[in-house]
Amino acid sequence: MHAPLSAPSPEVSLSPPRRGSRLKRWIIGVLALVAIFAGLAAVKGAQIVAMINAGETFVQPPESVTSAQVESFGWQATQGAVGTVLAVRGVTLSAELPGVVSDIRFENGASVKKGQVLVQLDASSEAAQLTGAEADAQLARLTRDRVEKLLAQGANTQSELDAVRARAVQAEAVVAHLKTLLAKKVIRAPFEGRVGIRQVELGQLVSPGNPIASLQSITPALVEFLLPQQALAQVKQGQKVRIRVDVFPGQTWEGELTTINPEVELSSRNVRMRATVPNADGRLLPGMFANVEVLAESSHPVVAIPATAVLFAPYGDSVFTLAEGKDAAGKKALLARQQFVRLGERRGDFVEVTSGLTAGQTVVSSGVFKLKNGAAVVLNNALAPPVEAAPQPVNP
């Protein structure tokens, strides 16, 4: 028997989807993206608006500063310079004649008196020659005396007397010459002072001009410095001078202006000056650098503030004055107002204000770098550093 034939299956459609349905899906996707971006933009815009509103209502907290009063001082005008300490008298001792060192009678750095023997050179040869020369001189004197007696008796001639007199003078000159040589074999201190490190030893042969030691008279001391020619109208001999040296930072020496050079140096238009300073302890040594202040005879009133109160800037120096007012929130507060000033001489921690402030005003003394005009501040003077006209450095 044959199996029954099955019915034919329907045909499967392989045609692509319609173009209209695909475009619809694209439009829906684009609209969804636009909606997402719009939502994000709305959220971000709301955040920006909130930040702007917060910024408009934000009040800067007050800065903590210290304050100082603008004071009036009587300042003594000064002319400052850098000078060099010199000895009143200073030489390098040396021998005039060659010789061998036979004796040294000073210690390095010792103080010596005028005329004190420092070095003895061997003079045995000159001493022997002097003994013979003195014998010749004695003989010449006796011969002269004998010839003078004979001439008085008429037993001699005037020419013979003249010859023996000349011989006596020559003999005396030889003695004097040898005594001079012997004196030059002894090196003495030409003045009172302090001798330096010796540069010769026993038995050493020295030549004329060879250094033996340095001798300096440092009591008192001289300080030489230069001032510009404009200072001639303000300085004169006899004015007080204050000296400081870096070696002794806490010490000052006061002296007197004793010499003003009568000419101006053409290269620098400066005038060379010298001050005499008492130096009983001998601590001012020749060659030291010194800070010099020539003090005026009278003082003048100035308005001064701490130098830390000044905000230095290329367009002008300024300070911040303090006054009661209202801050950005409308509340009562202490405000800092910027005030431009002109400055003058600086002395210690203070600086002179020639214009812009009057005595009695209150200024910010520290913390000015963090302020702006109209800023609210809070005073905390417990942190204020000390302000001195003549501060003394303290070594750690």
Rounded distance, CA 115 to CA 189, Å? 5
Q: In CATH, what number is assigned to the domain containing residue 173?
A: 1.10.287
Q: Is residue 351 part of a domain?
A: yes
- What is the 3-state secondary structure of 245-297? ECCEEEEEEEEEEEEEEEEECCCCCEEEEEEEECCCCCCCCCCCEEEEEEEEE
Please check whether residue 187 is in contact with residue 95, taking contact to mean a CB–CB distance below 8 angstroms. yes
Alpha-carbon distance 68 to 366, whole Å?
Answer: 9
Number of H helices, E strands in the chain: 3, 19
Element containing residue 3 per DSSP (H, E)? none
- The CATH number of the domain where 340 resides is what? 2.40.420.20
Shared domain for 315 and 282, answered yes or no, is no
Domain annotation covers residue 393: no
Looking at the structure, tell me whether residues 158 and 246 fall in a common domain: no
- Token reading at 217: 């008279």
- When pLDDT is cut at 50, 70 and 90, the band that residue 12 belongs to is very low
Does residue 58 carry a pLDDT above 60? no
Do residues 200 and 226 share a domain? no
Residue 19 lies in a domain: no
* pLDDT exceeds 70 at position 202: yes
Residue 56: pLDDT over 80: no
Mean of pLDDT over the chain: 84
Same domain for 135 and 159, yes or no, is yes
**DSSP state, residue 238:** T
232 shares its domain with 290:
yes
Is residue 237 one of the residues assigned to a domain? yes
Whether residue 388 lies inside any domain: the answer is no
Residue 128 structural domain: 123-184
pLDDT of 318 over the 90 cut: yes
One domain for residues 139 and 111: no
Whether residue 376 is contained in a domain is answered as: yes
Q: Is the pLDDT of residue 282 over 70?
A: yes
Q: Lowest-pLDDT range, 4-8, 40-44, 49-53, 237-241?
A: 4-8
The verdict on 217 and 262 lying in the same domain is yes
Residue 296, exposed/middle/buried by CB under 10 A (0-12, 13-18, 19+)? middle
pTM assigned to the model:
0.60
Q: Is residue 156 part of a domain?
A: yes
Whether residue 2 has pLDDT greater than 50:
no
Tokens read off for 271? 């005038």
Q: How many CB atoms are located within 10 Å of the residue 91 CB?
A: 15
Q: Please give the tally of structural domains in the chain.
A: 4
